[in-house]
Chains A and B, each alone.
Chain A
Amino acid sequence: AQTVTQSQPEMSVQEAETVTLSCTYDTSESNYYLFWYKQPPSRQMILVIRQEAYKQQNATENRFSVNFQKAAKSFSLKISDSQLGDTAMYFCAFMKESGGSYIPTFGRGTSLIVHP
């Protein structure tokens, strides 16, 4: 079974600064997918960024980028120029194909607070 570990239950950052959220996972698979999802307070979870394991290039979406280290099984999320609206729970998720099904495994989440 896959496991996803987010070792930082809570993080805080000043507005406009940069913060990095960590995620490690355990798998014996070589082909899989990794995601970061954001869950703002009392709002729906939305995708932040996605990475395919077969791609060496780190994914980037505007102020969000990842540092994907496949050998180390690490998938950290960097948020640049933090904004108040970035305050949310952030979940790292792992997904692999199994018999045509794609079942994600989520970490426990990191609560990020952006201070003005």
Chain B
Amino acid sequence: DTGVSQNPRHKITKRGQNVTFRCDPISEHNRLYWYRQTLGQGPEFLTYFQNEAQLEKSRLLSDRFSAERPKGSFSTLEIQRTEQGDSAMYLCASNSVAPPGEQFFGPGTRLTVL
């Protein structure tokens, strides 16, 4: 296993467009997290899956954001009608059910909204 992967690594889009990011966790990990990180800040929790169930969503998460993990494996994060304030690094992390262990992070997707 090569670890958590994320695609694309970079995305530049125009304001108002929709974007979708993908995260492939470590195969045996049940839990998958999405975070947003802006310059000078730590990762900010967005949402969390255990298998295919989305168990938690941040109250900060706008209705324009949606995430799925259809078969309990990879996950997608979609942002509709992007705004300049959405520009950030979007991180994915996974870990196993045995709590609360180390989170394995992906390299992130850097989104720039023009």
Write the residues of chain A forming the contact surface with B, with a CB cutoff of 8 angstroms. 4, 9, 33, 35, 37, 43-47, 50, 91, 93, 95, 97, 100-109
Contact = CB atoms under 8 A, between A and B. Distances in A.
Contacts of A4: 42
B42 A91 contact: yes
Contacts of B45: 103-105
Residue from A37, A100, A104 having most chain B Cβ neighbours under 10 A: A104
A96 to B, nearest CB: 8
B42 A97 contact: no
A109 B41 contact: yes
Given A95-B100, A107-B42, A108-B41, A101 B105 contact: no
A25 B56 CA distance: 22
Interface of B: 3-4, 31, 33, 40-45, 48, 50, 55-56, 91, 93, 99-103, 105-108
A35 B104 CA distance: 13
Contact of B42 (A44, A95, A108): A108
Given A33-B100, A100-B55, A101-B55, A44 B40 contact: no
A101 B56 contact: yes
Contacts of B40: 9, 108-109
Contact of A44 (B31, B101, B106): B106
Nearest to A47: B102
A44 B107 contact: yes
A113 to B, nearest CB: 16
A45 B48 contact: no
A46 B105 contact: yes
B100 A97 contact: yes
Given A44-B106, A102-B99, A103-B56, A91 B43 contact: yes
Contact of A50 (B44, B56, B102): B102
Contacts of A37: 103, 105
A109 B89 CA distance: 15
